[in-house]
């Protein structure tokens, strides 16, 4: 796809042709294997589910939906930004990315709130572990996520240029004025508010662990670790993407030098796979969330039985050999 700012060297072509396919391929392979294993563990070894387990399963399903769209983007960018799969799949793939993104933001926020309740009000935290609260929280999350990103379906479209058909990223929609206000609203409601909520939960948990009774209990320390990891995901994965998306939209709308605009565009392209890396952190989150999942996960790859059988066979073989080597009387 030709650069919008030909007066300065553009990194768009190189990043789209090499960086995005490689990044999306890694996310696809790791996320597909990891989330399929996680879902199978929850389905087969961790029933009956508590509310936290229900949120985790929904998070894994969201990640799985996301990584299943990766092959389409890998093919698109590796093929020189040439989309051959039609308008419906273009809208679906772009929609799936944002639906996963804001669904993950809200699910992680729910986890932070549940952990906060478990530390600040332990009795209420126990009540929140009932399945009805998990089902209710996830239902609200998916309704809100759908409400946030559904307008995007009307804004995403194919663009025909240079004898190619392009499936444009949402923030590269032309004219950009059509999405400018929506980008700001989506960033504020879909990311900034949940980020503030997670920060409040983290500060509350730290204060309670510092001043409350039994600050070193395993439950409280695990709650702190989970909230810290959620905060890391918000800052490391989601923050660069949202900042650079806003900057890229404003760069297209404002009078900016070619080099400055190309720099913002390159940084925005780099940030897009970073937003998808939350699937990696989510896999770590499952193991931190409780001992049951950790034991089940390790048990899935347990090789102790095979080692014991191999040792037994070696011993039997050694005894048989020593018996056959003994001379007859």
Report the candidate in 293, 326, 324, 313 with the shortest Cα–Cα distance to residue 47. 293
Q: For residue 102, is pLDDT > 50?
A: yes
Please report whether residue 34 resides in a domain.
yes
Please report whether residue 233 resides in a domain.
yes
Supply the pLDDT for residue 121.
83
Number of C-alpha atoms within 13 angstroms, CB side, residue 105? Answer: 31
What is the overall mean pLDDT for the chain?
82
Please report whether residue 264 resides in a domain.
yes
What is the domain-level CATH number for residue 65? 1.20.1070.10
Q: Which domain holds residue 195?
A: 12-298
CA distance 137 to 86: 35
CB atoms within 10 A of CB 260: 13
Encode pLDDT of 156-198 as tens digits: 878 888 788 888 888 888 777 888 899 999 999 999 999 999 9
Cβ contacts of 214 within 8 Å, gap of 6 or more: 220
Q: What angle do CA 131, 65, 140 make, to 5 degrees?
A: 40
> Is the previous residue joined to 182 through a cis bond, with omega within 30 degrees of 0?
no
Angle between helices 278-288 and 86-120 (to 10 degrees): 30
Stretch among 2-11, 26-35, 281-290 having the lowest mean pLDDT: 2-11
Please report whether residue 320 resides in a domain.
no
Please report whether residue 23 resides in a domain.
yes
Q: For residue 242, is pLDDT > 50?
A: yes
Q: For residue 233, is pLDDT > 80?
A: yes
Confidence of residue 308 (pLDDT cuts 50, 70, 90): low
CA distance 241 to 249: 12
> Is the previous residue joined to 175 through a cis bond, with omega within 30 degrees of 0?
yes
Please report whether residue 30 resides in a domain.
yes
Please report whether residue 309 resides in a domain.
no
Angstrom CA distances, 87 to 16, 80, 83, 96, 164, stand at 20, 18, 9, 14, 14
DSSP codes joined into one string, 195-243: HHHHHHHHHHHHHHHHHSS-TT-HHHHHHHHHHHHHHHIIIIIIHHHHH
Please report whether residue 252 resides in a domain.
yes
Give me the number of domains the chain comprises: 1
Output 40 or 315, whichever has higher pLDDT. 40
CA distance 36 to 217: 32
Angstrom CA distances, 151 to 99, 146, 154, 179, stand at 11, 9, 6, 10
Cβ contacts of 311 within 8 Å, gap of 6 or more: none
């Amino acid at each position: 796809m030709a650069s919008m700012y030909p007066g300065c060297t553009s990194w768009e072509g190189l990043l789209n042709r090499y960086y995005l396919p490689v990044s999306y391929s890694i996310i696809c392979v790791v996320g597909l294997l990891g989330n399929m294993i996680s879902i199978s563990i929850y389905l087969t070894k961790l029933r009956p589910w508590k509310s936290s387990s229900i949120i985790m399963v929904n998070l894994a399903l969201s990640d799985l939906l996301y990584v299943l769209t990766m092959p389409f983007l890998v093919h698109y960018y590796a093929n020189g930004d040439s989309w051959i799969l039609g308008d419906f799949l273009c809208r679906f793939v772009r929609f799936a990315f944002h639906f996963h993104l804001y669904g993950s933001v809200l699910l992680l926020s729910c986890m932070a709130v549940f952990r906060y309740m478990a530390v600040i009000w332990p009795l209420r935290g126990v009540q929140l572990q009932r399945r009805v609260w998990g089902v209710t929280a996830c239902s609200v999350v998916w309704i809100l996520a759908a409400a946030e990103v559904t307008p995007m379906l009307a804004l995403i479209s194919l663009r025909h240029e240079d004898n190619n058909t392009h499936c444009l990223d949402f923030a590269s929609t032309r004219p950009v004025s059509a999405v400018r206000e929506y980008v700001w609203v989506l960033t504020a409601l879909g990311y900034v508010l949940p980020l503030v909520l997670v920060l409040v939960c983290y500060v509350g948990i730290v204060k309670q662990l510092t001043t409350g009774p039994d600050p070193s209990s395993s439950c409280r320390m695990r709650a702190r670790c989970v909230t810290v990891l959620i905060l890391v995901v918000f800052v490391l994965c989601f923050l660069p993407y949202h900042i650079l998306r806003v900057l890229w939209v404003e760069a297209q709308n404002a009078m900016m030098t070619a080099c400055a605009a190309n720099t913002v565009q390159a940084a925005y392209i780099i940030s897009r796979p970073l937003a998808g890396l939350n699937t990696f952190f989510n896999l770590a989150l499952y193991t931190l969330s409780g001992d049951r999942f950790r034991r089940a996960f390790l048990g899935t790859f347990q090789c102790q039985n095979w080692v014991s059988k191999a040792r037994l066979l070696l011993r039997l073989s050694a005894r048989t050999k020593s018996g056959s080597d003994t001379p007859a009387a």
